[in-house]
């Protein structure tokens, strides 16, 4: 089989796990002969047993690369970190100058930055590409965020546009920008994903614990939300989760799942990048922290016995009216999560000179990816109208709809605090907004304190220069 396909395959994939295999099948379905390589013979055999004439599996790296058309295009879907570097090192022995390496995993953008420069020096094209959509997206149409070598992108663009999801006839893929831009964008995408998942879990807590609703009632709420302006992939799968029962069981599988959320690190990376850029992303930050807190199960059990619920958990308000307020609150917080993510992209672009187009990013997120939602149409429209828009909350159309939802978020947050229900992401959304819209924050006091104990200086209103005061001398008078 290998010899028959020498120099005939248009695309090569290293890593034949579910994502890699599904993506190869997607490529093959669109008429492109492709090759897959893995050091697991079982995975190679499984690929060949698909009996797809456009797919050819290899367990020898040299035979794999020899089967590719020139310039050879090889995509890696392997775990991020040292494994990527190891595979690239092996590829350098069997690829030629002008060939293309695509890293399609969730690599940290700083690693992609380094690899781009190293491979550029060796005469190879490197593309760091975020891929979103999970297993189903890989098979039927993902959203893809390639960045790095523009020349290489133009070569692989026809294949990527074919296999991507399509919204309004347009593929959910586009060139993000220079060097590590693709993985930076994917990192922010994942940070927004963390935030929205946390918001959904908190709305679940309010309905279950505060409104004393059963699973079928909660299912109906999510179903209703997903049929309106909150329509999104994450609400769609949440709706499904609230109906799923294992065969032979009469309770939801959800009720048997432990409340300890795992994470692969991309949300943390988003928070770290935001802090490095001195940019607030509190909803993303708290979403990461709450996953960490959820893992402290034993401590939480101990604390629950020391600090039991002492407030009346049943909300007294009309349930139907309150659910309308909760829907408004969710919309408000969701908009804020997207806004914080888009602001991070704006700031990252300023710092790293990626040449990002925020409207294009919103456009390709509308389909195929995990954070696809109806609201992304509004984000796309905002940045398409004003490509230099610094912050989504400054867009007039967004501001108009957001303002209508303010009473809902204020009611939900204050009631949750009163009833002892933890909704840190909702709270963070509201606090961020209230400070963002504040012409004057109380941080002048922080500056005075910093100068008092550390001589860190301060600036004065309406007066040029930097100042320091000997505060202790005056306080003695």
Kindly state the DSSP code that residue 7 receives in the 8-state scheme. T
How far is the CA of 283 from the CAs of 339, 343, 430, in angstroms? Answer: 10, 13, 10
Superfamily name with CATH number, domain 443-476: 6-Phosphogluconate Dehydrogenase, domain 3 (1.20.5.320)
- Over residues 401-415, the mean pLDDT reads 97
**Among the ranges given (241-250, 315-324, 445-454), the one the predictor scored with the smallest mean pLDDT:** 315-324
CATH number assigned to the domain with residue range 11-175, chosen from the 4 options 3.40.50.300, 3.40.50.11540, 3.30.70.930, 3.40.50.720: 3.40.50.720
Half-sphere exposure of 345 (CA within 13 A, CB side): 33
- What are the binding residues for substrate? 106, 132-134, 189-190, 194, 264, 291, 450, 456
43-74 burial code (b ≥16 CB/10 A, e <16): bbeebbeeeeebbbbbbebebbbbbbeebbbb
Rg (CA), the chain: 25
Burial class (CB in 10 A: 0-12, 13-18, 19+), 161: middle
pLDDT tens digits along 267-299: 999 999 999 999 999 999 999 999 999 999 999
Choose among 390, 392, 109: nearest CA to 272: 109
Active site residue 193: yes
Averaged pLDDT for residues 178-183: 97
* Integer Cα distance of 75 and 69 in angstroms: 14
* Domain residue spans of the chain: 11-175, 186-437, 443-476
pLDDT, position 477? 52
pLDDT digits (tens, 9 = 90+) for 20-42: 999 999 999 999 999 999 999 99
Of the pLDDT bands very low, low, confident and very high (cuts 50, 70, 90), residue 52 is: confident
| Per-residue pLDDT tens digits for 98-126 | 999 999 999 999 999 999 999 999 999 99
Residue 311: pLDDT above 70?
no
Taking the C-alpha atoms of residue 142 and residue 330, their distance in angstroms, rounded to an integer, is 26
- Given this model, what pLDDT does residue 1 score? 38
Q: Is the pLDDT of residue 255 over 50?
A: yes
Q: Mind listing the pLDDT tens digit for each residue in 138-162?
A: 999 999 999 999 999 999 999 999 9
* Average pLDDT value for the chain: 94
Query: What's the pLDDT at 320?
Result: 86
Check 43, 63, 72, 186 and give the catalytic one: 186
Q: Quick one: tokens of 24? A: 């190869």
Q: Are 74 and 99 contacting, i.e. CB atoms less than 8 angstroms apart? A: yes
Is the CATH number 1.10.760.10 carried by domain 186-437?
no
- Split at pLDDT 50, 70, 90, the class of 2 is very low
Q: Is 102 exposed, middle or buried (0-12, 13-18, 19+ CB in 10 A)?
A: buried
pLDDT for 51 equals 81
- Residue 325 annotated to the active site: no
- Examine the pLDDT at 228 and tell me if it is beyond 90: yes
Better-scored residue on pLDDT, 309 or 323:
323
- Whether 5 shows a pLDDT value over 80: the answer reads no
pLDDT at position 313 over 80 = no
Q: Out of 63, 193, 202, 327, which one is annotated catalytic?
A: 193
DSSP H/E element including 143: strand 143-148
| Tokens 């398409």 belong to residue | 384
Strand partners, 147: 128
Instruction: Find all residues with CB under 8 Å of 45, minimum gap 6, and list them.
Output: 57
């Amino acid at each position: 089989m290998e010899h028959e396909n020498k120099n005939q395959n248009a695309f090569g994939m290293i890593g034949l796990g579910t994502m890699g295999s599904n993506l190869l099948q997607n490529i093959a379905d669109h008429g492109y002969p492709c090759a897959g390589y893995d050091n697991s013979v079982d995975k190679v055999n499984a690929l060949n047993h698909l009996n797809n004439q456009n797919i050819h599996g290899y367990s020898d790296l040299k035979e794999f690369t020899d089967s590719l058309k020139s310039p050879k295009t090889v995509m890696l879907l392997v775990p991020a970190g040292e494994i990527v570097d190891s595979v690239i090192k092996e590829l350098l022995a069997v690829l030629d100058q002008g060939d293309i390496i695509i890293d399609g995993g969730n690599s940290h953008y700083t690693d992609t930055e380094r690899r781009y420069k190293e491979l550029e020096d060796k005469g190879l094209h490197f593309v760091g590409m975020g891929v979103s959509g999970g297993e189903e997206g890989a098979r039927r149409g993902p959203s893809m965020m390639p960045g790095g070598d523009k020349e290489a992108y133009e070569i692989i663009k026809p294949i990527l546009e074919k296999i991507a999801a399509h919204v309004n006839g347009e593929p959910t893929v586009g060139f993000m920008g220079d060097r590590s831009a693709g993985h930076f964008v994917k990192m922010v995408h994942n940070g927004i994903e963390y935030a929205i998942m946390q918001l959904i879990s908190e709305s679940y807590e309010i309905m279950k614990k505060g409104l004393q609703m059963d699973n079928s009632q909660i299912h109906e709420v999510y179903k209703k939300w997903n049929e309106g302006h909150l329509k999104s992939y994450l609400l769609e799968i949440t709706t499904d989760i609230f109906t799923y029962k294992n065969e032979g069981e009469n309770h939801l599988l959800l009720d048997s799942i432990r409340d300890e959320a795992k994470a692969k690190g991309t949300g943390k990376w988003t928070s770290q990048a935001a802090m490095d850029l001195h940019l607030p992303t509190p909803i993303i930050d708290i979403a990461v922290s709450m996953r960490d807190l959820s893992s402290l199960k034993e401590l939480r059990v101990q604390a629950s016995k020391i600090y039991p619920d002492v407030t009346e958990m049943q909300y007294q308000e009309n349930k139907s009216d309150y659910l309308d307020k909760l829907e408004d609150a969710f919309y408000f917080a969701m908009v804020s999560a997207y806004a914080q993510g888009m602001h991070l992209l704006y700031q990252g672009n300023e710092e790293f000179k990626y040449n990002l187009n925020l409207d294009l990013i919103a456009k390709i997120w509308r389909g195929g990816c995990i954070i696809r939602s109806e609201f992304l149409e509004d984000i796309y429209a905002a940045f398409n109208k004003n490509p230099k828009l610094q912050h989504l909350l400054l867009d007039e159309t967004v501001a108009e709809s957001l303002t209508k939802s303010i009473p809902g978020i204020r009611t939900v947050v204050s009631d949750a605090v009163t009833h002892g229900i933890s909704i840190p992401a909702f709270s963070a959304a509201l606090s961020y907004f209230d400070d963002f819209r504040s012409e004057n924050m109380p941080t002048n006091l922080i500056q005075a304190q910093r100068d008092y104990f550390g001589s860190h200086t301060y600036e004065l209103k309406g007066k040029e220069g930097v100042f320091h005061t000997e505060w202790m001398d005056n306080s003695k008078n």
